[in-house]
Chain A
Amino acid sequence: MNSDQAARLRDWADDYVAGTLDPAERAALERELLTNAEARRFFLSYLELHAGLAWQFRGADCELPGLSEANLKTNESITGVLDFARNPHVRNSGESHYREANLGEAQPTPVSRSRRWRWSLSSAAAVLAVAAAVWLWLHGVSREPGADSGPVFAVVRETLPGRWADGREVRVSESVGKGCWSLQSGLVSLEGMDGVELLVEGPAIGQWLDAQHLRLMSGTVVVRMPKGKSGFVVETARMRVTDLGTEFGVSVSPSGDERVQVYGGRVRTEAAASGEAQELKAGSALLCSPKGELAPAAFVEDRFIRRMPLRQGKPRN
């Protein structure tokens, strides 16, 4: 595909996204997509760009319409919440959280259609939100990291551009305390107790259990201990990784694969199911399948982001 073809295809893609593609252009686009695999990938990558931006900046997806933090504090309320999650039509949850996104000159949505959906979808959103909230609450969540008055386990050193799942931007110097956090996007550098450095790549969900103990439910984190320090633990659903003075990365993929890769020093890994323990040294990697089976994996240097990238010509880390 030459540059003219690429430019034309991108114009069509942009008009398609904006809703301004005319029928003749749409027919031409369809012909191109049906016959040219390279054009399909190019077009798809543009849709991924648009989708990625929409996701990145869409804000909270676990809002709790009509449900405050306060009524998550008692078992009685939890029962009610669970009942509501099972039967969303018992009460209405308020307005849908979707936002108008009139990028370009998209055709207006008929009001009746939008309103028809608004009621049922607000319940749908609430079901997921409630389910997620209950789950987070049961796991000791602090919906805003560091918002409670408990001990601080880490402080944000840098963010590029990180965003929590509740839509807030991650701020430098923000403290992160005990409980769950969900990083929707971006790259965040945290400094924990004893000088441990963690680089978290969004999307990621984790939970601080104590100052030396992080549970990673999904996503990617790289841990770097200062010289002379050790003992930091990253726990996943099927594995426990204990640093023995080192730098290592741990990832939990959406499909459930868990991976540890050691960049420096050593780590000890322990499988939850079998109790099998292994010590890994620098330059090695291990994969834990969704069934809990441990197996050596290829060490791929750039599998994890280990440093904040350069920005504006200045080193970030």
Chain B
Amino acid sequence: MSKFDKAMNKEVETVVDDATDFKVSYRKKRRNSGSFIVFVGPVFLVFAALVLIPFLMGLYYSFTNWNGVVGNIHYVGFDNYKYIFTQDADFKQSFIITTKYTFIAVILTNLIGFGLALLVTKGLKSRNILRTIFFLPNLIGGLLLGFIWQFIFNKGLTSLGAALGIDSLMQSLLGTANGAFWAIIIVAIWQGAGYIMIIYVAALQGVPQELIEAAQVDGADRFTTLRKIIIPMVAPAVTVCLFLTISWSFKVFDQNLSLTGGGPFKSTEMLALNIYTEAFVNNRYGLGEAKAIVFFVFVAAISILQVYLTKKREVEA
């Protein structure tokens, strides 16, 4: 082969290469959008059909008097919302009791969870088994948990009271409105504190030892170190834990259903149970959905506000 032939061959090869390059990149683009649909499509389709569309349908149903029967849907404007805010005493009661429950349960679960986290990071010999035990209740689902505590409150504690001769223990906590309310709080703490503890433990272990030592060298006592160094350093975990506990508390349903069933006399009927009853027991789907929308707006607003406020307080190491 002559020199010229070789050069020519090379030239042809480059041209062919360029052409395939072009083809490949063109194909790659098409293949890319094809694979985008294959990768994202299935889950987005299912998500749209079962989350997005029902949510939008729900917005519409909240303006109707739908009673669950197919075809029996009439537009009623703002009637449901007017009813909820002006006449529905049960909803108002649920709203107040849920807010009160959330406030108390969130504060106590976080305080106790943080306390447990401090305790099990103090170099105790039993720290691993303690962590396991504190976390254990969280494995039990809300429904079974409620049943378990129904037994504890109705039979366990009352028998203990009788055996020890303590009168105040002999009556079941679930018998009175106030007692039943605190019973749900106790159960919420028993279930949630261990989970919250795990998150705080991880955060506490991330606090640099040098910072604490430096503070102590500067003469800070234990409490000042906790307040000025440790708590600001675990602020991101506080954001997460508050978010989780607020969301658990507002949405509480299973424990409510199995522990008190909303009783005595609807005194402990939280919002989720109230919505459920309105729709699936009273068959007022339209009204139930309007309550569910009010519920959504309220929960979303509180959650977003909380994350915004606590994020502002986070500091860098």
A-B interaction? no
Q: Measuring CB to CB, which residues of chain A are less than 8 angstroms from any residue of chain B?
A: none
